[in-house]
Amino acid sequence: MSLLQKKDEIRKFLGMKHWIVISLMLVAYDVVAVSLAYFLALWLRFDCSFNSIPKYFFESWQVFAPFYAFVCVIVFYSLRLYKVIWRFASYSEMLRMMAATAVTTVFHIAAITVFVKRMPISYYIIGPVIQFIFTLGIRFLYRVYNFIRIDPRFERRASERTNVMLIGAGSAGQMLIRDIKSSSGLKDKIVCIIDDNDNKWGRYIEGIPVVGGREMIMSSVVKYGVKKIYIALPSATMAQRRDILAICQETGCELKNLPGMYQLVSGDVTVSNLRKVSIEDLLGREPIKVQTDDVFDFISGKTVLVTGGGGSIGSELCRQIALHNPKTLIIFDIYENNAYDIQLELREKYPDLDLVTLIGSVRDSRKMFHVFEDYKPDVVYHAAAHKHVPLMEDSPCEAIKNNAIGTYKTAYAAMVHGCKRFVLISTDKAVNPTNIMGASKRLCEMIIQSFDSKIKAGEAAQIPQLFTHYTKTESGKEKLDVSRNAEFFRNIKTEFVAVRFGNVLGSNGSVIPIFKKQIEKGGPVTVTHPDIIRYFMTIPEAVSLVMQAGTCAKGGEIFVLDMGSPVKIDTLARNLIRLSGYKPDIDIKIDYTGLRPGEKLYEEKLLAEEGTKKTENEKIHIGCPIKFDTDKFLDDLNVLMDEAYANNADIRSLVAGMVSTYHPQGSGEYCEREK
């Protein structure tokens, strides 16, 4: 039976926790150790000969030893030396042991001298030294034992170990090394460290050499047989991380990254906190931060409706809105599975949230009127839309019905039911659109601008109410009598705004999931053109900026989110292949399929005719709207709706007549679905 098994048997027999058994064993050891320490002091004083020790000195030690051992146990207990996890013992535990030795030494000198007998001077000096060595030594030997012991449950051969390179010789790196060394179950072994600080080169941390800066990464991987690279640079900028990650990707090693500073501040730097390097880490820019106080003040206590609330953008809107204490949150979506998923998630995280989940279509006037009549939303985030470019090219009338007409009907219902603010989620594809999806979203922006313009002019009654079915509800409220409600329309104060941004990483239909599926199948990864570029942002970043923009709106604006520098899709594909452990063009091929009709090499954030105005947030700009004939546009929209529901094959020509910047280039399927 092994020592570990014997300890387990004793613990089970006594019915105690493991640490209590260890503590009791330490108490027994300390009783013997402190008594033996002062006996050895006598023995050394008299030339290491027991027979040379005078009888009165030996009897004095013998009488005093039990009392002294008892006092030592009390002092050690009061300094919590029996509750320390000694496998993690460090400098603070050593200081406490020094303090305990000092206190007990003073007691020993005073008590034995006054109440028993004065002892030799060397006894008072040598005794405490031996006691400190005995009591501290056994505790730190336990830590050393845990480093070097070979237990049958965790035994591993040297050949099974995975050599790891650590990038970062700072505090986070040191914590990571200690965690790996103290974890018996890990097969990782850090063999070298990389750091750009040349003052650390050629030196050692925990016995591991700092071999050089980033230029040594490639050669050190070969020299030390590295299979994994851990990056512990919590204070580095995104650009610095991107540059280092670009080098690390060329090695073919598995990459893991310590996300940020909060782990270092909390002292929670462990292997379990490392995460795989994601494509977001390679964008090379700092995460966008948003002032949440204004958003909280705007959302708190209000009823908020999110259309398309089950989608990638809509669901993240719901998550962030739930954080800001709304009175009621309404999730509205036509796809019940997505709506159900976000409903379950929010109910689990926010059990006190007044959450309503509704299934329906924004194209249904009667449904939208019922929703607004029943719940009276104060704020609407309109995220419901068809967004897949290639699918909409094949079904252009559906893009018009759902995006343009659905936005119109939702906006009208919001206006006549006292909604305070309506925020449209738009896209950079609405800028100089070459596809019907982008053109339909530009129509949405024009609808929002038209509503705002009419309301500010006191002409809300002139906004036509569009219907595909004219049957009235029982209450008669669906089709409003404008002449009879003239005063009502003059008092409408709803503010309509749009927020425009580019591609979001990980959203439904984005290039990232498509590339991942292609890589899983062994390739090839299809890119339309080696020079095609897109703007990218993470979903939480985009949504937080949408909410910030909606907070500072005054009505009629098209807010444009600054998405940083554009990224080549080709570079994105190659990085993703490397992150998956393959080599581009060797393990996974990249095929260039050519631009399809309607696809552009680059997306624009603003129309050339627009300009920008600054806001308090440097990441949010306001596009100055292009002027157009609002009355003619609203009349044409009524015709466009009829033609869309008639599935007119020439719908693109009608849209081009309404959106002057739309230049259709034919139809067809696209290789990439970017939103």
38-54 pLDDT tens trace: 999 999 999 888 888 99
Any idea which of 140-149, 313-322, 515-524 has the lowest mean pLDDT? 140-149
Q: What's the pLDDT band for 157 if we cut at 50, 70, 90?
A: very low
Q: What's the pLDDT band for 675 if we cut at 50, 70, 90?
A: very low
Which comes out higher in pLDDT, residue 184 or 301?
301
The string of pLDDT tens digits covering residues 325-375 is 899 999 999 999 999 999 999 999 999 999 999 999 999 999 999 999 999
CA distances from 333 to 382, 450, 612 (A): 11, 25, 33
3-state secondary structure of 513: helix
- The tokens for 637 are 């929209």
Q: 667 with 393: CB under 8 angstroms?
A: yes
d(Cα 251, Cα 641) in Å, to the nearest integer? 56
Q: What's the pLDDT band for 7 if we cut at 50, 70, 90?
A: low
Label residues 360-388 b or e (16+ Cβ within 10 Å = b).
bbbbbbbbbbbbbeebebbbbbbbbbbbb
In DSSP terms, which residues pair with 397 in a beta bridge?
none
d(Cα 663, Cα 176) in Å, to the nearest integer? 56
**Exposed/middle/buried for 91, CB within 10 Å: 0-12, 13-18, 19+?**
exposed
**Exposed/middle/buried for 560, CB within 10 Å: 0-12, 13-18, 19+?**
buried
Q: For residues 591, 594, 599 and 600, what is the CA-based torsion angle, rounded to 10 degrees? A: 90
pLDDT of the residue at 264: 37
- The tokens for 544 are 């937080």
Active site residue 429: yes
Q: Which helix (H) or strand (E) covers residue 230, if one does?
A: strand 228-231
Q: Which helix (H) or strand (E) covers residue 516, if one does?
A: helix 511-520
d(Cα 112, Cα 63) in Å, to the nearest integer? 9
* DSSP letter (8 states) at residue 142: H
pLDDT of the residue at 155: 44
Peptide bond into 209 cis (omega under 30): no
CA geometry: angle 378, 383, 388, nearest 5 deg? 170
Share above pLDDT 70 across residues of the chain, in percent, rounded to a whole number: 77
**Is residue 67's pLDDT more than 70?**
yes
In DSSP terms, which residues pair with 188 in a beta bridge?
162
Q: What's the pLDDT band for 670 if we cut at 50, 70, 90?
A: very low
**Is residue 603's pLDDT more than 80?**
no
Q: How large is the average pLDDT for residues 499-517?
A: 73
Which segment, 2-11, 220-229, 545-554, is predicted with the most confidence on average?
A: 220-229
d(Cα 556, Cα 496) in Å, to the nearest integer? 6
- The tokens for 40 are 């050895």
pLDDT of the residue at 277: 58
3-state secondary structure of 241: helix
pLDDT of the residue at 254: 81
**Is residue 17's pLDDT more than 80?**
no
- The tokens for 107 are 């007691």
Q: 7 with 21: CB under 8 angstroms?
A: yes
- The tokens for 232 are 């512990």
Domains by residue range for the chain, with CATH: 3-148 (no CATH), 158-277 (3.40.50.720), 292-509+535-580+605-658 (3.40.50.720)
Q: Say if strands 495-501 and 421-427 run parallel, antiparallel, or are unpaired.
A: parallel
Q: For residues 334, 340, 346 and 351, what is the CA-based torsion angle, rounded to 10 degrees? A: 120
d(Cα 637, Cα 412) in Å, to the nearest integer? 14
Helices then strands, each counted (H, E), the chain: 23, 22
**Is residue 556's pLDDT more than 60?**
yes
Q: How large is the average pLDDT for residues 486-491?
A: 77
Q: How large is the average pLDDT for residues 161-177?
A: 85
Q: 65 with 41: CB under 8 angstroms?
A: no
d(Cα 85, Cα 587) in Å, to the nearest integer? 48
Question: Residue with structure tokens 């929209």?
Answer: 637
Long-range contacts made by residues 478-481, C-beta under 8 angstroms, separation at least 24? 478/365, 478/366, 478/369, 480/416
d(Cα 380, Cα 373) in Å, to the nearest integer? 14
Distance of CA 605 to the CA centre of its chain: 26
Distance of CA 614 to the CA centre of its chain: 29
DSSP string, 46-90: TTT-GGGS-HHHHHHHHHHHHHHHHHHHHHHHHTTTTS--GGG--
* DSSP letter (8 states) at residue 288: P
The catalytic residue among 429, 454, 600, 675 is 429
Q: 509 with 675: CB under 8 angstroms?
A: yes
- The tokens for 191 are 């063999």
d(Cα 417, Cα 477) in Å, to the nearest integer? 11
Which comes out higher in pLDDT, residue 329 or 551?
329
Q: 135 with 33: CB under 8 angstroms?
A: yes
Task: Read off the pTM.
Answer: 0.62
Q: What's the pLDDT band for 175 if we cut at 50, 70, 90?
A: confident
Share above pLDDT 90 across residues of the chain, in percent, rounded to a whole number: 39
Which segment, 284-288, 464-468, 511-515, 587-591, is predicted with the most confidence on average?
A: 587-591
* DSSP letter (8 states) at residue 250: T
Q: How large is the average pLDDT for residues 630-647?
A: 93
Closest CA to 411 of 265, 285, 296, 307: 307
CA geometry: angle 60, 64, 66, nearest 5 deg? 140
d(Cα 451, Cα 555) in Å, to the nearest integer? 10
Q: How large is the average pLDDT for residues 662-674?
A: 50
pLDDT of the residue at 156: 47
pLDDT of the residue at 148: 54
* DSSP letter (8 states) at residue 584: B
Which comes out higher in pLDDT, residue 153 or 234?
234
Count CB neighbours of 216 within 10 A: 17
Q: What's the pLDDT band for 247 if we cut at 50, 70, 90?
A: confident
Whole-angstrom Cα Rg for the chain: 36
* CA quadruple 509, 515, 520, 521: dihedral sign: positive
Which comes out higher in pLDDT, residue 185 or 106?
106
pLDDT of the residue at 604: 60
Closest CA to 585 of 575, 596, 574, 597: 574
CA distances from 185 to 84, 294, 619 (A): 22, 48, 46
CA distances from 440 to 67, 410, 532, 641 (A): 90, 15, 23, 12
pLDDT of the residue at 514: 82
How does the average pLDDT of the chain come out, rounded?
81
pLDDT of the residue at 485: 66
Q: What's the pLDDT band for 476 if we cut at 50, 70, 90?
A: very low
- The tokens for 97 are 């042991």
pLDDT of the residue at 596: 63
pLDDT of the residue at 1: 47
**Is residue 674's pLDDT more than 90?**
no
The string of pLDDT tens digits covering residues 359-417 is 999 999 999 999 999 999 999 999 999 988 888 998 999 999 999 999 999 999 999 99
Question: Residue with structure tokens 């004219």?
Answer: 470
CA distances from 161 to 207, 248, 428 (A): 17, 21, 49
- The tokens for 297 are 């003040």
Count CB neighbours of 265 within 10 A: 10
pLDDT of the residue at 150: 42
Q: How large is the average pLDDT for residues 266-277?
A: 51
Distance of CA 274 to the CA centre of its chain: 12
pLDDT of the residue at 90: 65
